Amino acid sequence: MYEKDGEKYFVVDSHMHYWNAGPDNWVPGAEQYAKGWIECFHAYQGLGPPETHWPIEKFMSYTEDDLMKDVFQDGYVDVAIFQPTYLTEWYREGFNTTEKNAALGAKHPGKFIANTRFDPRDGDDGLKKLEENVARYGSIGVKLYTAEWNNGSRGWTLKDPAAYRYLEKAQELGIKNIHVHKGPTIWPLDKDAFDVSDVDHAATDFPQLNFIVEHVGLPRIEDFCFMATQEPNVYAGLSVVIGGLMHARPKFFAKVMGELLFWVGEDKMTFGSDYGIWEPKWQIEGFVDWDYPGDEFSDYPRVTTATKKKILGLNAAKLYGIEVPKEYQLDAGEGAPAARDDAVGVSSGSPAASLG
């Protein structure tokens, strides 16, 4: 929890990791991909304040102690949600798996929620594995990475019939939240791999599931926003937006936040630090202090203390059924966190509702 100027913020870090990307975990023959992947992540860290940068060696293999200190002791986080990324073609034991995450979670009861994942290309075995993971780790969320390489395939979309089979199974198993992350490859390679229109289809066809589009669809923020206005069950995961822009590009950060508040709305935006890419501490402190820098942003929706409380924790707490102590909840009249029908574009009176 974080306190500033007498205001109390309950913090849910809805998108973070515990990975091992060190050379000891690289798949022989795929070293260049394993190395390229973690170096790419490390470059993202370079967008944060210089005093928060780590050397690549630590970045590849930070420890449990690092994580507990950075996220909970120094980082104000009340509950952290692990989002796994397997990448087993490049990392022998996986980059960050449900199993590794849950093992850490088991040592610190109440601190973590372990999401799992699926890959529709894994067929019946994958369905069985999903069921086992849900039973074993109590997952109610999954992280999907559509650009993952799998046996010669460079990716998949949520429109694939196989993906629908998995979504049906996930729903049947009690999964509520689908975190979607787009990457640079997909089959076929001549299509735009970052396209989010498949999320639109799935969100329409699975209205009981929540779809949290991580990194707000970056680099397709515009397509994401147009889609999110029309789908009451689509949310904006802010990882990378705060970490990658707030410090490095403050003016663009203000514009992106303004657009998200207009198109998606403050009830449907969730904070995620993307740890170990960025530590949560500076992101939370900076965001609580943040406002638009000047008059040129006057036609964007205003940002209030309630806005920040929802984004930093209350919205994700609602999506995950996390109990929030009374003194951290909003007062009456400050809105309903994670309300599906409160998105700006969904009300029929909004200009965004008429988007084709």
Q: Which residues bind another protein (CB under 8 A)?
A: 32-33, 36-37, 39-40, 42-44, 46-47, 154, 183-185, 187-194, 218-222, 225-226, 240, 244-245, 248-249, 252-253, 255-256, 259, 262-263, 351-352, 354-355
Decide whether 44 or 164 has the Cβ nearer to another protein. 44
**196 φ, ψ (degrees, to nearest 5):** -105, 10
Decide whether 23 or 174 has the Cβ nearer to another protein. 23
Decide whether 218 or 269 has the Cβ nearer to another protein. 218
Are the CB atoms for 114 and 137 separated by under 8 Å? yes
The least CB distance from residue 183 to another protein, in Å, is: 8
C-beta neighbour count of 191 within 10 angstroms: 11
The least CB distance from residue 17 to another protein, in Å, is: 17
Decide whether 28 or 188 has the Cβ nearer to another protein. 188
| Cα R_g (the chain), whole angstroms | 19
The least CB distance from residue 236 to another protein, in Å, is: 13
Decide whether 48 or 335 has the Cβ nearer to another protein. 48
Decide whether 111 or 187 has the Cβ nearer to another protein. 187
The least CB distance from residue 259 to another protein, in Å, is: 5
Are the CB atoms for 242 and 271 separated by under 8 Å? yes
Reported residue count of the chain is: 356
What separation in angstroms does the CA of 231 have from each of 157, 176, 338?
Answer: 18, 16, 13
The least CB distance from residue 226 to another protein, in Å, is: 7
The least CB distance from residue 204 to another protein, in Å, is: 21
